[in-house]
Amino acid sequence: MSSDYYAILGVPRDATPEQIKKAYRKLARELHPDVAHGDGAAEKFKDVSRAYEVLSNPEKREMYDRGVDPTAPGGGGAGFGAGFGFQDIFETFFGAAQGGASQRGPVPRSRRGQDALVRLELDLAEAVFGAHREITVETAVVCPTCSGSCCRPGTSPRTCEVCGGRGVVQRVARSFLGQVMTSSPCAACHGFGTVIPDPCPECSGEGRVRSRRTLTVDVPAGVETGTRIRLTGQGEVGPAGGPPGDVYLEVRERPHDVFIRDGDDLHCTLELPMTAAALGTVVQLETLDGPREVDVRPGTQPGEVLVQRGLGVGRLHVDGRGDLHVHVAVQVPTALDEEQERLLRELAAARGEERPASRLAPAHSGVFARLREKLAGR
């Protein structure tokens, strides 16, 4: 053999087909006559092409490895083999088509519909316990007149006369390799291979129409603002009655007048008279689960938190619920009558607090106030 094809491509003798193809593409770009200039460039390009012709074809490569050059006269025939053709040249300079191969044949007229995003507003109670909701959306549905065929009833698509139903047209162009046949989508049928001679009057040949639909959704407990619920196959129908997309419901939780949510927990404020905080009491608190009795121990201080287990938000996809945190706010009377003032003075005297010693403490805000600031984004 007069040439070492492996050396020409710069690959080892045990190179894989992918390594051979990659090496050829690199050299072909560098040595192509339209790019490279100077003595010997055209000849080197021919050598590279001949080496790839042999090594990319398993049968020719086996012959070559046994010492027979299949491109030599009497050596098995020259020219492009099964492993080397115009498609390799096009891939080298223009890139491979989508999916790694050239698109052949007509494309389907039917395609999947788009997804839809719908905002779903919920009350806090619906987010805590879950809910069963019905929502109305405007979307695309299969045309009831043509059932997605795009044609007037009684008619059908017709084979495109330009491309003969192939969806592509072929043209012959001249190149440095001689005559090259190229393919492109048919402009008459847009690549579908068929034309609609008599479109459906209701959908104008789309195979779908706009309509309002009512969807039923079970909202799980524990959702919060930003949670997305997917309704598979409930989106708009695709062109020509194609499969529907999905609907995504994006939750927006409305603020509550009493409760503030922090993850799986709820927080609220319980305002107590000074006497109730000092003496202790039992109060009835209206929770999202209904009335609940809360014990307030004697001497409860402002800012104390009374935790009610299991009265918070349901955990999403997990059993159990968070807690309800009741923050105590002690009310100091601002308007006393004579009798009330007398009794308080007697109490102060009995406790030795008529002129209490002042004591400075670190400035801070209460737990609930800090929570409010956090949720307000301060």
- Give the residue numbers of the binding site: 143, 146, 160, 163, 186, 189, 200, 203
**DSSP characters for 77-121?**
--S--TT--HHHHHHHHH-PPGGGS---SPPPS--PPPPEEEEEE
CA pair distance 355, 212, nearest whole angstrom: 74
Count the Cβ atoms, other than its own, within 10 Å of residue 288.
18
Which residue positions form the known binding site for Zn(2+)?
143, 146, 160, 163, 186, 189, 200, 203
Is the CA virtual torsion 183, 57, 55, 71 positive or negative? negative
Tell me which amino acid residue 282 is. V
Residue 354 neighbours by CB under 8 Å, 6+ apart: 345, 348
Residue with tokens 């209490």: 356
Residues 277 and 330: beta-carbon distance below 8 Å = yes
CA pair distance 266, 270, nearest whole angstrom: 13
CA pair distance 215, 139, nearest whole angstrom: 11
**Token couple for 272:** 């107590």
Q: What are phi and psi of 31, to 5 degrees?
A: -105, 0
